[in-house]
Amino acid sequence: MNGLSNTQLVLLGTSLLGGVAGIIGSFAVLRRRALVGDLLAHSALPGLCLAFLLLNSSSTLGRAGGESASATHPWQFTVMLAGAFIAGLIGVVAVTLISRWTRTKEDAAIGVVLGTFFGAGVVLSSWIQNLPSASSKAGLQTYIYGQAAGMTREDVWFITAVSAACLILVTLLYKEFMVFSFDPGFAQAQGWPTLTLDLTMMGALALVTVVGLPTVGVVLMAAMLILPGAAARFWTDRLGRMLVISGLVGAGSGVLGTLISAGAFEETFGFDPFRFGYNTRNLPTGPVIVLCATSLFVLSMLFAPRRGVVAKFARRAAIRRRIQHDHLLRSLYELSEPSLAPGPGNIASMATPAEVTIAQLTEDRAWSAWRAGRLVRWANAHGLAQRTHGGARLTNEGLREARRIVRAHRMWELFLISGADIAPDHVDRDADSIEHFLTPEMIAQLEAELTAQRKLPSAPDDVPHSPHALSSAEQVRADQARADSARADGDGLP
Amino acid sequence: MNPSVTDADRAAAAATSARRAPPLEIHDMTVAYHRKPVLWDIDLVAPEGQLIGIVGPNGAGKSTLIKAVLGLAPLASGKVGIYGLPYSQQRHLVGYVPQRETVDWDFPVTALDVVMMGTYGRLGWFRRPGAAERRLAEECLEQVGMASYAHRQIQQLSGGQQQRIFLARALAQDAQVYFMDEPFAGVDAATEQAIVVLLQALRNSGKTVFVVHHELQTVRQYFDFVILLNLRLVAAGPTATTFTRANLQQTYGGRLTILDEAVEAVRLGEAPR
């Protein structure tokens, strides 16, 4: 560590700090204890102030403290951090006691304790700033707002030691932390000392918070505990992977934020992609690191596969599209159904479906002509229907597909009428919302049940008759009116 | 006097008494939250190898009874014995199914991960579950018919499937006595039947199964033994003789006795003026 330049030193410190905050913070996020990071960081402040006063009041310390603003002396540094650590833990214990022994709920207790401690801290710190003797009050500023650039070799040693200790802890107690975080009651019944585990987790959280204070400061440290874990949750459904990703996000934010605020991009590439017309060299490192973590969180929230917002919207849109396609095929089938009527000796699949006009489709589905036309063009492009002058006609392939869809729809309707005791004129829309999600196994099961009840046509794969009149558009409107009036009635109640 | 002989004698005596002692024995137990009793003077001896229903109205302390036995609720007084010894010495003999809503199902674990948690107690500190634990967990999933869902994240399971995962986790604990807190809550009829069959199989293999249960209609059908509870123990005994109209009336309302009123007054924290 002695051979490192100042920037390298700061990089090492911030990346380690970001990584370990991400890993330890993940457990807080998963246990819905995200606010505890906030609590720890804020209640550390009066501890810092008291430790500072202690250092300044003792004469030997006063001389040493007068020389430099930042905590150059390891023991001075240690005393300040110990003060912060102890005050943070007192805050956590206070919340635990209040929520356990009074009617105050935990979130309210956190609010009370956090506010009280931080208020006391601010009063103490302003008092310190008015002290004539305190030439080193800048040291306190450092802890409140953070100053990564001023990181010393001792700071980095400390961060390295804490990171190593936390990593070992999480590796050793991975299974214990997992069962305790997921199901504390079960863990306790199984004989794990849950209070000790809880305190161990809190202790690690407090330790990380406290060593992070000089770098990112009191307020932003809480964010560094939560953001990486919250971001990582979007990328995976496994705890182990989440911890690794969270650590990487935290470390990445540390590196990126340090480089940006050190103006390293300009030095390396000749231009700074983050400059936006301003000089980034003078930006405070801590807040930039937090903003980098925020960016990674937002990116994860939007673009993570499966859990991301974009992926969710895409999935929903795909389902909506498929439902519309199903609806089109069913309408084409039902509107041309008379032409397909299977007579004696006339196998249904041999008949040619009649043409269905756009006007019929808009009437049947309450679609706009534009939407009906677009869906027909889709069916035409996929070989399921043939576009005609004023409408469309199912192709053989389309007929097969439509038959499958209509069959599922009507079997589901028949099942609802016989199995769930729903009136025939109500089943169409109920069936509508489910039929698109029926799996082949469920359809097979429906088939078996309905065959047993002799509700299906004798020819295999034949489409059963609709159990209700096929004027869905009218029915949709009637249902709508009924629902509206019901809602109006409901609103009228006191 | 030869100390080793005494030790051996004591061990043998303990083993005999452990065999003879009932799976659950509660003596004069009172449970209090915030100093207000929620269970009052419970005395209970439960028989071995039976399916036992814990029945009573909402807020009667059914879950609390289980939690108190497992050391999850504070005892204000009294003693609990599992096969004659305190629970803390008998954990390895006990399996637990908590209520489904008590955990966050969005937690990043798979069904198999959750079931493997059942083996953690035997593993002890620091040891990670290995191939043997994994195989056992897979077998337990198989038993509850969830083998094909082993690698699903638990949020992506239906309520009944989640309940079966919890059941599989208790099976993985490989216990003699099981405590299940509303395993039928929010479960469809088919799953309920499957669970009942599983519980009966456990009973038939000599295990004792305690089940907190809500549906009065199915009590006779499911349970060999019932514990009727409403802050106090109303009755406990074989279903045929205990699950009677008179006992139910006493459990679910009717006239308050003086004792009930006293309990209620203490619960509300009202002191006579």
Q: Tell if the CB–CB gap between B113 and A190 is shorter than 8 Å.
A: no
Closest CA to A128 of A140, A143, A118: A140
Identify the pLDDT of residue B256: 46
Tell me the backbone φ, ψ of residue A236, rounded to 5 degrees: -155, 160
**Over 60: is that where the pLDDT of A405 sits?**
yes
Q: Which of B34, B91, B98 sits opposite A183 (nearest CB)?
A: B98
Identify the pLDDT of residue A66: 39
Identify the pLDDT of residue B82: 95
Q: Which of A30, A185, A191 sits opposite B107 (nearest CB)?
A: A30
Opening angle at CA A469, ends A465 and A471, nearest 5? 120
Which tokens belong to A18?
A: 């970001």
Separation in Å, CA of A50 to nearest CA in chain B: 35
Identify the pLDDT of residue B1: 39
Long-range contact set of residues B89-94: C-beta below 8 Å, sequence gap at least 24: B91/A189, B91/A190, B91/A191, B91/B121, B92/B121, B92/B122, B92/B175, B93/B175, B93/B176, B93/B177, B94/A189, B94/B70, B94/B173, B94/B175, B94/B176, B94/B177, B94/B178, B94/B179
Separation in Å, CA of A132 to nearest CA in chain B: 50
- Interval B82-92: pLDDT, tens: 999 999 999 99
Average pLDDT value for chain B: 87
Task: Select from B34, B120, B127 the residue whose CB has the most chain A CBs within 10 Å, as the one to mutate to test that interface.
Answer: B120
- Spell out which residues of chain A touch residue B127, defining contact as CB-CB under 8 Å: 175
Identify the pLDDT of residue A319: 86
Position with higher pLDDT, B63 vs A486: B63
Identify the pLDDT of residue A461: 62
C-alpha–C-alpha distance, residues A95 and A102, integer Å = 10
Scanning A13-42 for CB atoms below 8 A from B yields 30, 32
Separation in Å, CA of A245 to nearest CA in chain B: 13
CA-derived radius of gyration, chain B: 20
Identify the pLDDT of residue A489: 45
The label of the residue with tokens 């009123």 reads B261
Identify the pLDDT of residue A133: 59
Q: Tell if the CB–CB gap between B107 and A182 is shorter than 8 Å.
A: yes
Which tokens belong to B100?
A: 């489904």
Position with higher pLDDT, A111 vs A475: A111
- Spell out which residues of chain A touch residue B121, defining contact as CB-CB under 8 Å: 190-191
Tell me the backbone φ, ψ of residue A305, rounded to 5 degrees: -65, 145
Q: Is A219 on the interface with B (CB under 8 A)?
A: no
Scanning A55-114 for CB atoms below 8 A from B yields 101
Q: Tell if the CB–CB gap between A175 and B128 is shorter than 8 Å.
A: yes
Size of interface A-B (CB pairs under 8 A): 74
Identify the pLDDT of residue A362: 87
Identify the pLDDT of residue A346: 46
Task: Select from B107, B133, B169 the residue whose CB has the most chain A CBs within 10 Å, as the one to mutate to test that interface.
Answer: B107
Task: For A173, name the nearest residue in chain B, comparing CA atoms only.
Answer: B126
Q: What percent of chain B has pLDDT over 70?
A: 85
Position with higher pLDDT, B10 vs A384: A384
Q: What average pLDDT does the segment A54-64 reach?
A: 57
Q: Is A191 on the interface with B (CB under 8 A)?
A: yes
Q: What average pLDDT does the segment A183-203 reach?
A: 94
CB B126, CB A170: distance < 8 Å: no
Which tokens belong to A306?
A: 């499966």
**Over 50: is that where the pLDDT of A390 sits?**
yes
Side-chain half-sphere exposure of A428, counting CA atoms within 13 A: 19
- From first CA to last CA, the distance across chain B in angstroms is 62
| Other residues' Cβ atoms within 10 Å of the Cβ of residue A305 | 10
Count of positions (residues) in chain A: 494
Average pLDDT value for chain A: 81
CB B46, CB B156: distance < 8 Å: no
**Over 50: is that where the pLDDT of A493 sits?**
no
Separation in Å, CA of B261 to nearest CA in chain A: 24
Q: Tell if the CB–CB gap between A188 and B94 is shorter than 8 Å.
A: no
Closest CA to B59 of B268, B270, B272: B268
Residues of chain B below pLDDT 50: 1-5, 17, 255-256, 273
Q: Is B151 on the interface with A (CB under 8 A)?
A: no
Specify the DSSP class assigned to residue B271.
P
A11 Cβ contact list (under 8 Å, min separation 6): A254, A255, A258, A259
Which tokens belong to A87?
A: 């005050």
Q: Is A185 on the interface with B (CB under 8 A)?
A: yes
Confidence of residue A67 (pLDDT cuts 50, 70, 90): very low
| Least confident residue range of A93-102, A148-157, B152-161 | A148-157
A199 Cβ contact list (under 8 Å, min separation 6): none
Looking at residue A219, its amino acid is V
- Interval A449-470: pLDDT, tens: 787 777 777 665 677 777 776 6
C-alpha–C-alpha distance, residues A215 and A158, integer Å = 12
Q: 3-class SS at A132?
A: coil
CB B173, CB B96: distance < 8 Å: yes
- Interval B238-270: pLDDT, tens: 999 999 888 888 888 754 455 556 665 665 665
CB A11, CB A156: distance < 8 Å: no
Separation in Å, CA of A420 to nearest CA in chain B: 14
Q: Is B149 on the interface with A (CB under 8 A)?
A: no
Which tokens belong to A19?
A: 């990584």
**Over 50: is that where the pLDDT of A494 sits?**
no
- Interval B150-162: pLDDT, tens: 999 999 998 999 9
The DSSP-derived string for A276-329 is TTS-GGGS-HHHHHHHHHHHHHHHHHHHSTTTSHHHHHHHHHHHHHHHHHHHHH
- Interval A35-48: pLDDT, tens: 888 899 889 989 98
Opening angle at CA A396, ends A394 and A399, nearest 5? 55
Q: Is the pTM of this model over 0.90?
A: no
- From first CA to last CA, the distance across chain A in angstroms is 73
Identify the pLDDT of residue A59: 43
Position with higher pLDDT, A263 vs A124: A124
Segments in B46-130 forming alpha helices (H)? 62-69, 87-90, 111-116, 120-123
Q: What average pLDDT does the segment A106-128 reach?
A: 90
Which tokens belong to B125?
A: 């500190």
Q: Is B111 on the interface with A (CB under 8 A)?
A: no
Task: Select from A105, A180, A190, A197 the residue whose CB has the most chain B CBs within 10 Å, as the one to mutate to test that interface.
Answer: A190
Q: Is B125 on the interface with A (CB under 8 A)?
A: yes
Identify the pLDDT of residue A491: 41
Separation in Å, CA of A72 to nearest CA in chain B: 39
A178 Cβ contact list (under 8 Å, min separation 6): A239, B109, B113, B117
- Interval A211-246: pLDDT, tens: 888 888 877 888 999 999 999 999 999 999 999 999
Segments in A390-455 forming alpha helices (H)? 396-419, 427-434, 440-452
CA-derived radius of gyration, chain A: 34
For helices A427-434 and A472-492, the axis angle rounded to 10 degrees is: 100
The per-residue b/e assignment along A30-41, b for 16 or more CB within 10 angstroms, e otherwise, is: bbebbbbbbbbb
CB A35, CB A109: distance < 8 Å: no
Identify the pLDDT of residue B151: 95
